[in-house]
Structures are given as C-alpha cells and as structure tokens.
Amino acid sequence: MNIHKLDKYAKSLIKEAARRIKSSFATELIIESKSEANDLVTNIDKETEQFFIRHIKQDFPDHRIFGEEGFGDSLQDLKGFVWMLDPIDGTMNFIHQKKNFAISLGIYKDGVGILGYIYNVMDDDLISASLGEGAFFNDIRIPEVKQAIVEQSIIGINASWVVPNKYIEHEGMGKLLQTVRGTRSYGSAAIEISYVVTGKLDAYISMRLSPWDIAGGMVIAKEVGAIVTNLSNEPINLLQQNTFIISKPGLHKELITNYIRLK
C-alpha cells in the first residue's frame, strides 16, 4: 500500500464528506439521544460515517473501520489497516452552533498510526500528518511545539472539571485553575487537539475520550512533538476509552506531577 496514495484518497473522502455535511444545512436535521439526553446524534453523523464506510469497503475491502456511530467493524485487535473515524466530532456544536465541529480520522497499520486528520469543517482547515513526514496545516508545515510553563499556559478543559469527579483530586484541579493563564472549552476534542498541535492551546485534558476522538490527533501530535498519554502518564489504548492529556513537552510533566492527581 502506497501511503501517499492512501493519504490523497483519505483527504478527498474528507473533503467530500465535509461538502455533504455543509449541504445538509439546507435540510432539517433529525436529532436523537443516545446514552443520555445530552448525548446527541443526528442523521448527518450517521450518513457521514456510512459515506466513508461505503467508499473504504469498496476500494480497500480488507481495511477495517472503527467509527463512533457503529456502522463499521467491532474491534478486538488493531491488526492490519484500521480507520478510526469520528464523522462529526462536536455534534452538539454542529446542532446548536453550526461551527466548531470536525471530521476526525486516524489510519493505523498493525497498531501504528500512519496517517492522521482533523478537518475543521466550517473553518475549512485541514490538519494532517503522515508518520515520519511531519504535520501540515492546510499545506503549510507545522513547526515542532515549543516548551511551555503552567503560569503562561492556556489549557483546554470543560466545565465538568469544576465539580467533584471520580478521576482527579479536586484540589489539584482547583490549584491548576488558579495558576494557569487561562482556560478554554471548544466542545470538540478533535478541535482542541488541533489547537494544541498548532500552538493555540498549550494543553488539553479530558476525563474520558473514545478512540475515534483522538486517533487522528495522536498521529499529528507525534509529528510535532506534543505529548499524549492518559492521566496516569501511560500510553493510550485505542481499543477502549481513556483519560487523556495532550500537552507541550515540559508542561505535560508539570501538569501530571503537580496538578492532575489521580484518585
């Protein structure tokens, strides 16, 4: 399999999927709840995932697809080529705000990330990376991320951190909020990851993300020197949900050691 050809193919699918998502604004959305009332899915999330699967299965019949909406394969291992797809990351934004949502895609071969994409649909910004060949913002090479210190950092977190939770000691989080320069919350893990790899955020932390939220971003992170682990400072397992941090180097160690104390 020629990686450059696969890269071109994946990019053209992403662009076409985005065009279809945008054109759906002219039609009425069908909105449903999944695991709880605010866990939303629309007909466009489903149709977009099915669009990818239709093409990938036709053109690469031996590749497997692990997608959020469940139309692909269920995975017990990461053998061979696996496409990890979130057709719309930030569904709530898609429904309510019509912006700040992304297509997130990672292509893995035998568990190694070889291609990664985060496409901010409404900004028309594609962040992409290919293993060993660097990462790109549209067609511009993204430089290595710089070191950062906590006092000068802007960190992506969401409001669920401000109430007690089962993962993290509350006082560590409080101390972090008092120390950082600022926090931001964009409502799309993929977009927040894309902001860390392009230096707009210094870190992004989440208590629970799924493989399709982060698989593409992890390939990109590696190419720019951003550090990705779970909150116990262990590697991410792409067959399950994980706690998650992506951060500039230096800051990653400081956050894990001094602030994000696990229970």
Residues that bind ligand IPD (CB under 6 A): 68, 86, 89-91, 158, 187-189, 206, 209, 213
The nearest distance, CB 209 to ligand IPD, in angstroms, is 6
Which residue's CB is nearer to Ca ion, number 89 or number 223? 89
7 annotated as ligand-binding: no
Which residue's CB is nearer to ligand IPD, number 7 or number 89? 89
- Listed residue (98, 99, 97, 103) closest to 84, CA to CA: 103
- Listed residue (233, 234, 128, 132) closest to 190, CA to CA: 128
The nearest distance, CB 90 to ligand IPD, in angstroms, is 5
125 annotated as ligand-binding: no
Which residue's CB is nearer to Ca ion, number 7 or number 86? 86
Q: Which stretch binds Ca ion (CB under 5 A): 64-72, 132-140, 171-179, 232-240?
A: 64-72
The nearest distance, CB 242 to Ca ion, in angstroms, is 13
Total residues in contact with Ca ion, by rule CB under 5 A: 5
123 annotated as ligand-binding: no
Name which of residues 72 to 91 contact Ca ion (CB under 5 A): 86, 88-89
What angle, rounded to 10 degrees, do the helices at 43-59 and 3-23 form? 150
Q: How many CA atoms lie within 13 A of 235 on its CB side?
A: 7
45 annotated as ligand-binding: no
Q: Are 191 and 90 in contact (CB under 8 A)?
A: yes
Which residue's CB is nearer to Ca ion, number 113 or number 216? 216
89 annotated as ligand-binding: yes
Name which of residues 181 to 220 contact Ca ion (CB under 5 A): 213
49 binds Ca ion (CB under 5 A): no
The nearest distance, CB 40 to Ca ion, in angstroms, is 7
Which residue's CB is nearer to ligand IPD, number 116 or number 187? 187
Q: Are 153 and 132 in contact (CB under 8 A)?
A: no
Between strands 125-130 and 112-120, the pairing is: antiparallel
> Cα separations (Å) of 204 from 54, 87, 189?
33, 21, 8
**Cα gap 147→186, rounded to integer Å:** 23
Residue position matching structure tokens 């866990």: 39
SS3 144: coil
Taking the CA atoms of residue 17, residue 94, residue 44 and residue 139 in that order, the dihedral angle to the nearest 10 degrees is 10
Binding-site annotation, residues = 68, 86, 88-89, 213
Binding positions for Ca ion, rule: CB under 5 A:
68, 86, 88-89, 213
